[in-house]
């Protein structure tokens, strides 16, 4: 599993949001940008990931806008992003998330800022 694999990026997003929630910290959206502090991926892939996290009910509080000619909606607002109870369960009970966590432990880049 590579550092830019879907499940690794999803783990980083959900783990960051869950840690912010547990510690009562505001989410710093700079961590969640496609070329942000957590990961470096292209914007189409990033929109795909956030779109699916929202559709699957793992995150909420983002604004998505359909753009003509684009497969995935534009992410307009991350200010109120948060993890949902389903997202917490997915993060803690999913075998792919455990593999992503192990990969990131090996590279010492889980969430170095928390």
- Domain annotation for the chain: domains and CATH numbers: 6-106 (1.10.10)
How many angstroms from the chain centroid is the CA of residue 12?
Answer: 6
Confidence band for 14, pLDDT divided at 50, 70 and 90? very high
What average pLDDT does this structure show over 62-70?
89
pLDDT of residue 13: 95
What angle, rounded to 10 degrees, do the helices at 6-23 and 95-106 form? 90
Verdict on whether the full-model pTM lies above 0.85: no
**Could you report the per-residue pLDDT of 71-110, keeping only the tens digit for each?**
888 898 899 999 999 999 999 886 666 666 666 665 555 4
φ, ψ for residue 8 (rounded to 5)? -70, -45
pLDDT at 54 (0 to 100): 95
Q: Over the chain, what is the mean pLDDT?
A: 86
Q: Is the model more confident about 4 or about 48?
A: 48
Q: How many angstroms separate the CA atoms of 17 and 11, rounded?
A: 10
Residue 22 pLDDT more than 60? Answer: yes
Euclidean distance between CA atoms 90 and 113, whole angstroms: 23
């Amino acid at each position: 599993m590579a550092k830019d694999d879907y499940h690794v990026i999803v783990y980083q997003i959900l783990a960051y949001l869950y840690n912010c929630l547990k510690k009562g910290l505001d989410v710093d959206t700079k961590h969640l940008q496609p070329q942000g502090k957590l990961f470096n991926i292209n914007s189409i892939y990033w929109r795909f990931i956030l779109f699916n996290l929202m559709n699957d009910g793992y995150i909420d509080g983002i604004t998505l806008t359909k753009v003509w000619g684009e497969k995935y909606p534009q992410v307009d607002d991350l200010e109120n992003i948060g993890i949902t109870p389903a997202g917490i369960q997915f993060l803690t009970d999913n075998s792919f998330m455990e593999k992503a966590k192990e990969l990131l432990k090996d590279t010492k880049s889980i969430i170095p800022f928390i």
